[in-house]
Structure 1
Amino acid sequence: MGTRWSARVVVPAPGRYADIGAGVQGAFDGVVAEMSTWEAVSDISRFNRATIGTWQSLPPDFLIVLSAALRIAEESGGAYDPTIGGLVDAWGFGPPGPCAAPPDVETVAALLRAAGWRHVECDTLLQRARRITPLALDFSGIAKGFGADRAAAWLRTRGFRHFLVEVGGELVGAGVKPDGQPWWVDVEMPPGAALPPLRLALHGLSAATSGDYRRWFEAEGGRFAHTIDPRSGRPAANGVASVTVLHADCMHADAYATAITVLGAEEGLRFADSLGLAAHIVSRSGDGWSEAMSLAFTAMLD
């Protein structure tokens, strides 16, 4: 996944910790094998190479993520869309590597015509899916959260009830620490943002943060961040610096954080409130910073 992970686990008896590292790593490895576009033999790479219109048999976890991604794409009006792999690559944020300059208008237009969540058909009953245009799936806005969920699920199946799993800033917290305190985590603020720290208690909750300060490049006098707006085919440029979403599972928190980042602060808040999402948004405001919270997030602070 191109990042590090950590797990803090309350071990109920001596000797129970020996296989934790390998088990959690195995959960992540399974997600990578299915959903990483950086792996040529992964299921997502196989799907993206398949003949257009041909049904592809896919693993259950892959279809869980694809189904959720398509539903969130519909809910968000396409602000989140898992079919923009071609655009991600064209802007230098995919496996082909960085680009020296932004793609030209014609390239973006062609990739936009091919993309679109409505151009993917998903048949969960028969465990298959197909694309009907030359689009490319990209799960980078949802798979990391799903990986955190899968690691948490592995821990639960082994009888561990109290833990905090983190992978690249996405977190899943369950139970409490040995001292009875919840798993307290500090939300990462954008560099330079003069805002007070935001500390959250993850007790049966997941948190995911999307930020424009993690991967970006400068060219032709502009700054281009890695979050692509599927509606324009260009990096989102609405002043939103980071979005944190709390949710029961990390997969949804991850994708919703991306959607709200693309929608922008005002529309993103309306979207979060319409779904009852707990969201915290940090935006650049002139030479300063501003923050906004959804109704559900504000209620958690009371």
Structure 2
Amino acid sequence: MRVLIPAALSALAIASRAPAAPVESLGGQTMGTTWSVRYVPMPGAGAAHSAATLRAAVEQRLAEVIDQMSHWEPGSVLSRYNDAAPGTWHPLPPAFRTVLACALRVAAESGGAFDPALGALVDLWGFGPAPARTEPPAPREIEAARARCGWQRLTLDTARQSLLQPGGVRLDFSGIAKGFAVDHVADGLRQAGLVHFLLEIGGELRGEGVKPDGSPWWVAIERPPHLPQAAPGWQETRVALHGLAIATSGDYRRGFAWQGRHYAHTLDPRTGWPLDNGIISATVLHPSCMEADAYATAFGVLGAEAALDLATRRDIAACLLRRTGAGVEEILSPALIAMLD
């Protein structure tokens, strides 16, 4: 086993121990998955750090994300935009604008490997609110859906803080919204006065502060569930989450099998088809879980070489797993290798 230590985890940080109090836990369900938080109540906080108060704060933040960005909720801001008439402008709330701005930036950086306007393809493949499929759509259907997609079709009026619906565009934030939710909830916990906590939503995590004994919040990089523990090329890795988030995109999360092939839920916007580049998973460490989420999706679509190039240029800590004949191959970015020193 190996460990990754962020540069921010200095001796001073470890010395600034959390209060000598039991670590408390909360959890629940959201966005078709689960959330949990482990935290150390601060001295003198009283009711402000009670389980009921903190649960209400978490659930309020999660509800805001769902109300704005869920493509499963017909009344969400995103769903209303998707169903709107061509040529209409739609005012965007601040959280939505934050996510869209990040999504468009990552789309441009990745050459469209990440695309927030992928909804028509997601629906066609049955990976969204539409009924699930048991076989792939016809090529002509895929091309027709692709014609309705593309982040370049989005026109954002920053002065009016509004987005144009050109006609037929369907947004899909499933590759970024969960990461934003982690950041959004973490911000709410900090506003409530928490300093030391580990937050998780659907496998994406953010750690702040340290545990009462001064040690960091340790988490393991996700191991693909079908991968044998002793698979050649695989090494268990633990990360000290201190002011840091981690997100993983994997081809094993959802999908269907047809005629001997697995069709993963992650689509390549540039082709309209599920990934077929050998990438099993892409894990990203970043101060922003929103960005970690988006880059993990983009890296998985890009493939090993292009993903490593982008991660190197952007100084992003990333770990990719690629299938080989004997097992798996790890591809580590320079920023992640530096955390091993």
- Per the normalisation by structure 1, the TM-score is 0.97
Q: Which moved more, 1:10-19 or 1:254-263?
A: 10-19
**Are 2:134 and 2:257, in contact at CA under 8 Å, matched by a contact in 1?**
no
Q: Which moved more, 1:115-124 or 1:77-86?
A: 115-124
| Count of matched residue positions in the alignment of Structure 1 and Structure 2 | 302
Q: For residue 17 of structure 1, what is the aligned residue in structure 2?
A: 50
Q: Give the secondary-structure state (helix, strand or coil) at the position aligned to 1:301.
A: coil
Q: Name the aligned partner's letter for residue 315 of structure 2.
A: G
1:272 aligns with 2:305: no
| Gap regions ≥5 residues in structure 1 | none
- Deviation string 1:180-225 (CA, Å, 9 cap, x unpaired) is 1111101111121422211001100011000111111101332100
1:90 aligns with 2:124: yes
Tell me which of the two structures has the higher relative contact order, counting C-alpha pairs closer than 8 angstroms and 6 or more residues apart. Answer: 2
Q: For residue 213 of structure 1, what is the aligned residue in structure 2?
A: 252
Q: Name the aligned partner's letter for residue 259 of structure 2.
A: E
1:253 aligns with 2:292: yes
Q: Name the aligned partner's letter for residue 264 of structure 1.
A: G
Q: Distance in 1 between matches of 2:208 and 2:307?
A: 28
Q: Distance in 2 between matches of 1:113 and 1:96?
A: 19
Identity %: 51
Q: For residue 12 of structure 2, what is the aligned residue in structure 1?
A: none
Q: Distance in 1 between matches of 2:159 and 2:338?
A: 39
Q: Distance in 2 between matches of 1:247 and 1:156?
A: 18
Task: Tell me the CA shift for residue 23 of structure 1.
Answer: 1.1
- Per the normalisation by structure 2, the TM-score is 0.87
Q: Distance in 2 between matches of 1:197 and 1:128?
A: 45
Task: Tell me the CA shift for residue 288 of structure 1.
Answer: 1.1
Structure of higher CA gyration radius: 2
Task: Sort the Cα spacing of 1:54 and 1:9 in 2 relative to 1 into closer, same or farther, 3 A.
Answer: same
Q: Distance in 1 between matches of 2:50 and 2:174?
A: 30
Q: Name the aligned partner's letter for residue 8 of structure 1.
A: R
1:101 aligns with 2:135: yes
Aligned counterpart in structure 2 of residue 5 of structure 1, from 23, 30, 35: 35
Q: Give the secondary-structure state (helix, strand or coil) at the position aligned to 1:67.
A: helix
Q: For residue 288 of structure 1, what is the aligned residue in structure 2?
A: 327
Q: Give the secondary-structure state (helix, strand or coil) at the position aligned to 1:235.
A: coil
Task: Tell me the CA shift for residue 123 of structure 1.
Answer: 2.2
Q: For residue 95 of structure 2, what is the aligned residue in structure 1?
A: 61
| Gap regions ≥5 residues in structure 2 | 1-30
Q: For residue 165 of structure 2, what is the aligned residue in structure 1?
A: 131
Task: Tell me the CA shift for residue 295 of structure 1.
Answer: 0.3
Q: Distance in 1 between matches of 2:136 and 2:326?
A: 26
**Are 2:92 and 2:161, in contact at CA under 8 Å, matched by a contact in 1?**
yes
Q: How does 1:38-49 map to 2 (within 5 A)?
A: 38-49=72-83
Q: Distance in 2 between matches of 1:291 and 1:184?
A: 21
Q: Name the aligned partner's letter for residue 97 of structure 1.
A: P
Task: Tell me the CA shift for residue 287 of structure 1.
Answer: 4.1
Q: Distance in 1 between matches of 2:259 and 2:171?
A: 29
Aligned counterpart in structure 2 of residue 180 of structure 1, from 214, 217, 225: 214
Q: For residue 261 of structure 2, what is the aligned residue in structure 1?
A: 222
Aligned counterpart in structure 2 of residue 202 of structure 1, from 225, 241, 258: 241
Q: Distance in 2 between matches of 1:287 and 1:92?
A: 33
What is the CA RMSD across the aligned residues, in angstroms?
1.1
Q: Name the aligned partner's letter for residue 224 of structure 1.
A: Y
Q: Which moved more, 1:172-181 or 1:128-137?
A: 128-137
Q: For residue 227 of structure 2, what is the aligned residue in structure 1?
A: 192
**Are 2:134 and 2:258, in contact at CA under 8 Å, matched by a contact in 1?**
yes
Q: Name the aligned partner's letter for residue 34 of structure 1.
A: Q
Task: Tell me the CA shift for residue 97 of structure 1.
Answer: 2.5
Q: Distance in 2 between matches of 1:53 and 1:102?
A: 32
Q: Distance in 2 between matches of 1:189 and 1:265?
A: 18
- Deviation string 1:38-87 (CA, Å, 9 cap, x unpaired) is 00000000000111221111211101111110111001000000111111
Q: Which moved more, 1:208-217 or 1:12-21?
A: 12-21
Q: For residue 113 of structure 1, what is the aligned residue in structure 2?
A: 147
- Deviation string 1:88-136 (CA, Å, 9 cap, x unpaired) is 1111110013112111111100111111101011123322111324121
**Are 1:206 and 1:248, in contact at CA under 8 Å, matched by a contact in 2?**
yes
Q: Distance in 1 between matches of 2:158 and 2:192?
A: 28
**Are 1:119 and 1:133, in contact at CA under 8 Å, matched by a contact in 2?**
no
Q: Distance in 2 between matches of 1:26 and 1:179?
A: 31
1:168 aligns with 2:202: yes
Aligned counterpart in structure 1 of residue 179 of structure 2, from 139, 145, 148: 145
